[in-house]
Amino acid sequence: MKKNAFYAQSGGVTSVINATAAALILETKKHKSKIGKVFAGKNGILGALREELIDTSKESLSAIKSLKNRPGGAFGSCRVKLKSLDENKKEYQRLVEVFKAHDIGYFFYNGGNDSADTAHKVSQISKKLGYPISCIAIPKTVDNDLAITDCCPGFGSAAKYIATSTLEASLDVASMSATSTKVFILEVMGRNAGWMAASSALARSKKNDAPHIILLPEVIFNQKKFLNRVKKIVELHGYCVVVSSEGVKNNKGKFLAESESKDAFGHVQLGGVAPYLGSLISNKLKLKNHWAVSDYLQRSARHIASKTDLLHAEAVGIHAVRYAIKGMNGVMPVIIRGKSPKYSWKIKPAPLSKIANVEKKLPKSFISKNGFDVTNKCIDYLKPLIVGEAYPKYRVGVPSVIELKLIEVRKKLTPWIS
Closer residue to a second copy, CB minimum distance, 358 or 406: 406
Which one, of 298, 66, 261, 56, lies nearest residue 163 by Cα?
298
Choice among 143, 145, 309, 373 that is catalytic: 143
**Other CB atoms within 10 A of residue 388 CB:** 15
Closer residue to a second copy, CB minimum distance, 9 or 124: 9
Phi-psi label, residue 164: left if phi above 0, alpha if psi -120 to 50, beta otherwise: alpha
Rg, the chain, Cα only? 23
Closer residue to a second copy, CB minimum distance, 103 or 380: 380
Closer residue to a second copy, CB minimum distance, 105 or 139: 139
**Phi, psi for 170 (deg, rounded to 5):** -65, -40
Closer residue to a second copy, CB minimum distance, 14 or 123: 14
- Nearest approach, Cβ of 272 to a second copy (angstroms)? 5
Q: What angle do CA 181, 257, 293 make, to 5 degrees?
A: 50
User: Which are the contacts of 205, defined by CB distance < 8 A and separation ≥ 6?
Assistant: none
For 302-312, b/e burial (b = at least 16 CB within 10 A) is: bbbbbbbbbbb
- Nearest approach, Cβ of 105 to a second copy (angstroms)? 26
**143 counts as catalytic:** yes
366 vs 225: CA distance, rounded Å: 20
For 322-352, b/e burial (b = at least 16 CB within 10 A) is: bbbbeebbbbbbbbeeeeeeeeebebebbeb
- Nearest approach, Cβ of 171 to a second copy (angstroms)? 3
12 vs 144: CA distance, rounded Å: 12
Closer residue to a second copy, CB minimum distance, 103 or 389: 389
Q: Pairing mode, if any, of strands 240-245 and 53-55?
A: unpaired
**Phi, psi for 348 (deg, rounded to 5):** -135, 155
- Nearest approach, Cβ of 92 to a second copy (angstroms)? 19
Sign of the four-CA dihedral 144, 162, 377, 337: positive
- Nearest approach, Cβ of 36 to a second copy (angstroms)? 26
What stretch of H or E contains 36?
strand 35-41
What stretch of H or E contains 256?
helix 256-259
Closer residue to a second copy, CB minimum distance, 84 or 282: 282
- Nearest approach, Cβ of 8 to a second copy (angstroms)? 11
Could you give the count of Cα atoms lying within 13 Å of 269 in the half-sphere of its Cβ? 15
- Nearest approach, Cβ of 23 to a second copy (angstroms)? 18
The catalytic residue positions are: 143
